[in-house]
Amino acid sequence: MKDSAAVSNKKRKTYQQLSYWGKVGRDIATNPVLYLMFLPVVLYYILFCYKPMYGALISFMDYVPGIPFWENEWIGFDNFVRFFNDRNFFRLFKNTLVISFSSIIFGFPAPIILALLLNELKSRTYSRVVQTISYMPHFISIVVICGLIRDFTMNTGVITQFLGIFGFPQVTMLGEPSYFVPLYVISGIWQEIGYGSIIYLAALTNVDQELYEAARIDGANKWKQTIHITFPSITPTIMTMLIMRLGNIMSIGYEKIMLLYNSQIYETSDVISTYVYRVGLLDMDFGYSTAIGLFNSVINLLILLLANKLSYKLTDTGLW
């Protein structure tokens, strides 16, 4: 050990001179414990994200479960062509984008606003209480949440009855195609606003308090302070979250929609993932559903790259 140390001491390159792997090696040698802690994460990604990727190959196959993987027949892009020619393709595509964009436009700023409001609260106790209550819906099972939504928005439901006071028609909201997206988005905000605000609250605690002091001396009121100090300070966090959210634009989970929709509102509520569930998983058409999944992922990736580029242009922050 000592010998080699002496030798390497002589020849030791500076950090900058090392090759990439050399740098990694040096880093591991200096911070072994950190890397050990990182190891499970790497393994997780290799085992659960990279290894299963070969499964995407079945989107080019006439896949039959049960027979050995490589014995399946290759059919090229047939599954994709089938999806693009599907009678529901445009409706599914449109609904997916509409629901996703609406969720981002209205749902994304909500936790930020809540975090900013909470940050301004003087009473710690009150702030804690508000936070706890607003987290709660996140931890309730989606099945229960959707049951509540369905009951409350029925023609006899409490929300419909309440809105009736203001002249709102007494109809079952989930039977009206035009109400589905607002219901989906608003209930989504209610579910996630508290939980989503945690990360922004964390970012807010890191804002330098001296900045506020300086602003106050310059005569800035609360609103000006928020606009010119608080907001810019958490922009990197906001941008990161936004880009990540945009990267999921095509992947709306099917559970909530499945639990809420019915045949009356397919025209605004049927999305790609619910269709995949019906045709792919229930009809055992794995090749087809994988093809649709792959199509989604490709679009997601493109949007992610685009959003990241734009973000650098506009705010000088981004994912990488």
Partner 1 sequence: MSAKRLSALLLTALMAASAAVSCGEDSPSEPVSNAVSSSDEAASGASSAETAASGEITYPVEGNPTVTYWCRLTSNASASVASMNDLPFTAELEERTGIDVEFIHPAQGTDKESFNLLVASGDLPDIVYYSWFNGYPGGPEAAFKNRVIEPINEHMAEWAPAYTAYLAENPEVAKMVQTDEGNYPGFPFIRGEEILWISWGPFVRADWLEQIGMEKPTTIDGWYEMLTAFKNECGATAPLTTWDKDFGIFNSGFLVGAWGMATDMYLNDDGEVVYGPAQPGFKDFLAEMQKWYAEGLIDPNFYANDRSAAETNLMNGFSGAIAASPGQGLGVFEKSLKEIDPSAGYTPLQWPTLNEGERPQFGQKDTYFNNFGLAAVTASSENKEAAYALLDYAYTEEGHMLYNFGTEGVSYTMEDGEPLYTEMITNPGEGMSMSQMLAQYTMPQDDFPFVQDGRYFMQYMQLDVQKEAIQLWQETDAEKHWLPPITPTEEESKEYGTIKTNLDAWRNEWCVGAVTGKNSIDEYETVFLPELESIGLERALEIQNAALERYNNR
User: What is the binding site for partner 1 (CB under 8 A)?
Assistant: 64-67, 87-88, 150, 154-155, 171-172, 174-175, 262-264, 266-267, 278-279, 281-286
CB nearer partner 1, residue 82 or residue 228: 82
Burial 145-177 (b: 16+ CB within 10 A, else e): bbebbbebbbeebebbeeeeeeeeeeebbbeee
Question: How many C-beta atoms surround the C-beta of residue 56 within 10 A?
Answer: 13
CB nearer partner 1, residue 51 or residue 309: 51
CB nearer partner 1, residue 65 or residue 164: 65
CB nearer partner 1, residue 67 or residue 217: 67
Residues 6 or more apart from 197 whose CB is under 8 A from it? 111, 112, 114, 115, 118, 131, 134
Minimum separation from the CB atom of position 289 to partner 1 (A): 10
Residue 285 backbone phi and psi in degrees, to 5: -95, 75
CB nearer partner 1, residue 192 or residue 285: 285
Minimum separation from the CB atom of position 179 to partner 1 (A): 12
CA atoms lying within 13 Å on the CB side of residue 73 = 5
Minimum separation from the CB atom of position 151 to partner 1 (A): 8
User: Strand runs (DSSP E) across the chain, as ranges?
Assistant: 61-62, 73-74
CB nearer partner 1, residue 174 or residue 193: 174
Minimum separation from the CB atom of position 254 to partner 1 (A): 11
Minimum separation from the CB atom of position 46 to partner 1 (A): 20
CB nearer partner 1, residue 27 or residue 86: 86
- Residues 117, 118, 124, 128, CA torsion sign: positive
Minimum separation from the CB atom of position 189 to partner 1 (A): 23
Q: How many angstroms separate the CA atoms of 258 and 278, rounded?
A: 10
Minimum separation from the CB atom of position 262 to partner 1 (A): 5
Percent helix / strand / coil, the chain, rounded to 5? 80, 0, 20
What is the DSSP-derived secondary structure letter of residue 202?
H
Residues in the chain: 320
Cα 160 from chain centre: 30
Place of tokens 């989504």: 188
